[in-house]
Structure 1
Amino acid sequence: MDDRRPGAGGADVPLEQHRQLITWYVLFALTQVTALALILIDNNSLADRLTAAGLLCLNGLWFVLYGRRLVVRGDDDWHGFVYVAGSLATFAPAVWFSGSATFALFGLVPQIYMVLPIAWAFFPMVLFVFTPQILTWVAGAVPALPWPAALLIIGFSHAFGWAVSRIAQQNQQRGELLQRVEALTIEAERARWSADIHDTLAQGFTSIITLLQGAQPNVELALQTARENLREARALVASNAPSPLDGSTLEDALRRLVSGAALPSTFRVIGDPVGLQTSAEVVLLRTVQEALHNVARHSGASRVDVVMRFDEDSVSLEVRDDGRGFGEAPEGFGLRGMRARLEQVGGTLSLSSDGQNDQTGASVLVEVPL
């Protein structure tokens, strides 16, 4: 499930950021409602109180229609100055008609730091804080708030605004990180599906073609391989373990896999078998599938032998053929996929060619720690 909610202008907002924005919206609403209540009960004339209340309502509407979109986007560009100018254009007259509108500063100051970079927000914030002082002085009255107290409020507001900016920046970085993690997860899942399809369906159908080319005696074995690959396809869609492992041990699954190879083959186990984690069993099974596929398709071998060895601290699998060897050909997708799978379980992959007579032979050795 995608933890996002629609934001302003149709933008998708991470769920955590969405919840934090809701908290800020509640704070802004509470400061506006409180300021409106203080305006309506002060000692000014009814006309002044209604005018101040109307201007403060316009201020809130300006945030809903324009400022909220800037807060969600977090662009910190010239649009922020447009919003701040419009907010001041409604806040200052409201203070002129009723000094109680000053209470709205508790919501307006954080908004300034949300729509402007912290270095740019300082001067508009000072203007907002000094607006009641300046208007009171212009009216010829004594400011209700001493100038030193106003300076203290400015210092506190800037510190508070810095904290708001840091929270917004961290939220943005967290959102970008989540997007990168999501992209990497999708890429890894695609790689896993590609490797699974390559290791199962492609190999199985190649075996079917090889067997059918060998004439009638191989038809039954081809049908068996086709059924096995059908089970693999269903298992992949259901995200289950490989179907050869369903209800059987790894040794039994490998024995069936080797017996169904396109070439004459043998399988033997050395040592006392021990239980392995499912992830390790899947890796070992896929490795043998890929190795047998490569032998049948590229080696020109006449036989292949598979040996599984259990040691005290590891289990190894060797797939050896009597074909032409690896030569200097670069590793293909199959071998790269085998290495990637083994790295997931801490395993290793070794390749070697023997160099015997005209046919060198090749060996694929994988080892997984217990």
Structure 2
Amino acid sequence: MEQHQSLITWYVLFAITQATALVLILIDNNTLADRLTAAGLLCLNGVWFLLYGKKLVSRGDDDWHGLIYAAGSLATFAPAVWFSGNATFALFGLVPQIYMVLPVAWAFWPMALFVFTPQILTWAAGAVPALPWPAALLIIAFSQAFGWAISRMSEQSRQRAELLNRIEALTIEAERARWAGEIHDTLAQGFTSIITLLQGAQPNVELALRTARENLREARALVASNSPSPLDGSSLEDALRRLVNGVELESSFRVIGDPVGLQTSAEVVLLRTVQEALTNVARHSGASRVDVVMRFDEDGVSLEVRDDGRGFGDAPEGFGLRGMRARLEQVGGTLSLSSDDGASVLVEVPL
């Protein structure tokens, strides 16, 4: 957007210089034929820019195509100056174009040729140049400095555009990772529980139906960007107690200390972490019992999920544990794992 606005500004400048040069040509003291010829040639110069030069400027090309454009522009500008010296005013728009379609090192010589064209043609006609040669040299020096500034601004604009594109790509990637984590923590875990329950005896059907309904509410909450459905209308302690009571193992849930209010983001992280830990216990640990302890103290809140299964062993951390750590880092929390007499997942979040 910023680059587009900058180009619009340059296009307006080019149009103003061309229009001013045309007015100066038409009020010149030359014959009507000379004035109309010069004006026509300058109009052709503008058409050449619209058909070819504008494409190079908008794309930011700095290669040999710029030399083709410079040659075509000079082919219409030079004879226009021959028929009317007032066409020289068009240089204020033509010189910047040269630097916008060519590298700075390449643009110097075409620019110098453009600036010297009125001098050379006036001298060839046997007249005294209206612009002294020292003044022409000064214009060339100024044009080179101006062209360098244009090149720097163009490069900075390109770098800003690349940075914005990179930020946008990272934002999209982070959002995809967030959704992947949410789906893994909610729908995937819930449906895994349904499959496990349905593989069991008939009494588990009711629990499977209840789990399916909870996951349906969870899906709707995700789409609506609401808070996790287990927290809707209840405290974190109640939501955790429901999660623990819903596992197909002997389980217990205890709260130690005086509960305090937590930020919603911290409550979501704690809930998701316990949900992930319980799913891992049911799927991988081979445990017969799981206990969850929530502790409040002056520094923060901690949650420990302990089972009597086979422990973590030397298995690498999977997506679930990596997702736990990533979410906890967002709220300044930590995750600790141990495998003494089973497996223990300890989560600590500061107040």
Q: Shorter-chain TM-score category?
A: over 0.9
Structure 1: which amino acid aligns with 2:60? G
Q: 2:101 and 2:297 mapped to 1: Cα distance?
A: 65
Cα RMSD (Å) of the superposition?
A: 1.2
Q: Which residues in structure 2 correspond to 1:152-167 (within 5 Å)?
A: 152-167=138-153
Structure 1: which amino acid aligns with 2:119? Q
| 1:89-112 Cα deviation digits (max 9, x unpaired) | 111111111010010011111111
Alignment-derived partner of residue 211 in structure 2? 225
Alignment-derived partner of residue 129 in structure 2? 143
Structure 1: which amino acid aligns with 2:291? D
| 1:130-171 Cα deviation digits (max 9, x unpaired) | 111111111111111111111111121111111111111111
Alignment-derived partner of residue 81 in structure 1? 67
Q: Which residues in structure 2 correspond to 1:1-370 (within 5 Å)?
A: 15-354=1-340, 360-370=341-351
8 Å contact from structure 1 (residues 270, 308) kept in 2: yes
8 Å contact from structure 1 (residues 207, 262) kept in 2: no
The CA deviation at 1:343 is 1.6
Aligned residues: 351
8 Å contact from structure 1 (residues 210, 262) kept in 2: no
The CA deviation at 1:65 is 0.7
| 1:25-78 Cα deviation digits (max 9, x unpaired) | 111000000000000001011111001100100111111111111111112011
Q: 1:140 and 1:309 mapped to 2: Cα distance?
A: 100
**Identical amino acids, percent of aligned pairs:** 87
8 Å contact from structure 1 (residues 299, 324) kept in 2: yes
Structure 2: which amino acid aligns with 1:368? V
Q: 2:232 and 2:284 mapped to 1: Cα distance?
A: 30
8 Å contact from structure 1 (residues 204, 229) kept in 2: yes
The CA deviation at 1:194 is 1.1
Question: 4+ runs of 1 displaced by more than 6 Å?
Answer: none
The CA deviation at 1:263 is 1.6
Q: 2:38 and 2:153 mapped to 1: Cα distance?
A: 33
Q: 1:77 and 1:347 mapped to 2: Cα distance?
A: 54
The CA deviation at 1:363 is 0.3
SS in 2 for 1:366: strand
Structure 2: which amino acid aligns with 1:49? R
8 Å contact from structure 1 (residues 267, 307) kept in 2: yes
SS in 2 for 1:307: strand
> TM-score, normalization: structure 2?
0.97
Gaps (5+ residues) in structure 1?
1-14, 355-359
The CA deviation at 1:262 is 2.3
> TM-score, normalization: structure 1?
0.92
Structure 2: which amino acid aligns with 1:364? V
Range with greater deviation from structure 2 (22-31 or 157-166):
157-166
Q: 2:2 and 2:263 mapped to 1: Cα distance?
A: 37
